[in-house]
Amino acid sequence: MPADPDPDDTSRRGWYTVILLGIVSTLSFVDRGVMALFVQPMKRDFHLSDTEVSLLLGLAFTIPYVIVGFPMARFIDRGSRRNLIAGCLAVWSFATGACGIAQNYWTLFVCRFVTGGAESVNTSGSLSMIADCVPREKMPRAFAIQSAGVAGGAALSLLIGGVLYGLLVKVPPTHVPLIGVIHNWQLVFMIVGIPGLLVAGLMFFTVPEPRRKRGTRPGGYPLREVLSLVKQQQSLHLPLLGGMLLLAIMTSGFAAWMPAFYERTYGWGPEKVGPMLGAVSLFTSIIGLIAGARLAEWFGKRRDDANLRVLFLAHLLSQPLLIIMPLMPNPWLALGCAAISGVFGVMGGPGFSAAIQITTPNEMRAQINVMYAASITAIGGSVGPTLIGFLTDFVAGSEADLRYVLVAVKLLFGPLAVYLIWRSMAPYGKLFRQDLDEAR
């Protein structure tokens, strides 16, 4: 009879898995976010409008995220999550590198399409794995590590992309036989796609597939039962999903257009704004995630709604700063507002992820996760960048007025998002108590 696994060894393997999944999330957001840095070069070299660029930043990525994400969630709930994540990481890394040889708008669109479809597996698969790797009371800390990968990837896409572009800015367009002209900004895509191929191998060969905790349905749940659970928990999911969608519209819109905002408003090009925004975002995200995880664990000893209470407080504090940030008279004050709001804004991420896993049966988690991830990515990731690009082109009528468009979008969606998250707190607290009683 085989001996029981050493608890210390199990714990070490669990946290190793969490850390590596955090790295995978970092690569995911580097690959999806680096394109935002090159709005102006893409417009110049491929002769694009703001609306066309917004479709590359949004719709080209989000449509396949939904098309692939929902059916793949069923495989995640009943199959090897490790294998799926590793394989899809290799695919989206290759697609990112392929942006470096694109010769026109539609080739870039196809590369983004492939990237979005492959990345749809990562969030739902990673969250499901992490919930099985660590004890329940440590979930906020584990999800803080995964969220640090997300925030770190978004920051590093600007930081690394900006540094690389600065090093390559004087490289002239180069004609490559059988391919065509390669511009300096395209070389950045080739470089950032390489690490993902290496980490995919590391993931496949060194990460064990964790045992599903409290799993009762090895074959997973069919969609009708997933929808039935969502209906039973609608007092939680309707306001929470609504609030997160509104936040996603604002967040994705700001992320897509922030480099262009600094360039148009303050004259900072990609080689300067990328490292600046990336460094600030990386620093503030680490502080915010650590604080958010600790706060969720501290509240968790006192309140049943702790995880979503931290999410509510985080965005209540961050929204006013984000509204005034685009109106600042110089880039340094704008960066200051962004830094402080960035600390608050990411604090709720670990609690939000933990709340969804806690209130969902094990073999249903990927499908609930993808409901949030795909909806947020598809609607938020499409509407946010496209809405800002459309308003700038057809309402403001001038590139220089991008700052006022950003303020208007925040005023329109921010307060309502915070209110909806507040409405979800009490239903979550009730479900948390029920789940705790069943665990005992």
Whether the Cβ atoms of residue 136 and residue 358 lie closer than 8 Å to each other: yes
Cα distance between residue 248 and residue 379, in whole Å = 8
Asked, for residue 132, whether it belongs to a domain, the answer is: yes
Asked, for residue 216, whether it belongs to a domain, the answer is: no
Asked, for residue 179, whether it belongs to a domain, the answer is: yes
Which has the closest alpha carbon to 146: 357, 309, 371? Answer: 357
Domain range for 60:
7-206+221-439
Number of separate domains in the chain: 1
CA atoms within 13 A on the CB side of 387: 23
Asked, for residue 2, whether it belongs to a domain, the answer is: no
β-strand partners of 168:
none
Q: What is the DSSP letter of 104?
A: S
% helix / strand / coil in the chain, to the nearest 5?
85, 0, 15
pLDDT score recorded for residue 246: 94
Whether the Cβ atoms of residue 365 and residue 128 lie closer than 8 Å to each other: yes
Which has the closest alpha carbon to 87: 7, 6, 196? Answer: 196
pLDDT score recorded for residue 299: 87
Q: What angle do CA 264, 95, 277 make, to 5 degrees?
A: 30
Asked, for residue 282, whether it belongs to a domain, the answer is: yes
> Which tokens hold the place of 274?
């990328």
Asked, for residue 290, whether it belongs to a domain, the answer is: yes
CA distances (Å), 436 to each of 44, 112, 226, 234, 360, in order?
Answer: 57, 42, 21, 20, 12
Q: How far is CA 214 from the centre of its chain?
A: 28
Q: What angle do CA 50, 55, 57 make, to 5 degrees?
A: 90
Asked, for residue 40, whether it belongs to a domain, the answer is: yes
374 Cβ contact list (under 8 Å, min separation 6): 65, 66, 69, 70, 120
Asked, for residue 215, whether it belongs to a domain, the answer is: no
Which domain CATH number covers 61? 1.20.1250.20
Counting as low any pLDDT under 50, the low residues of the chain are 1-9
SS3 at position 175: strand
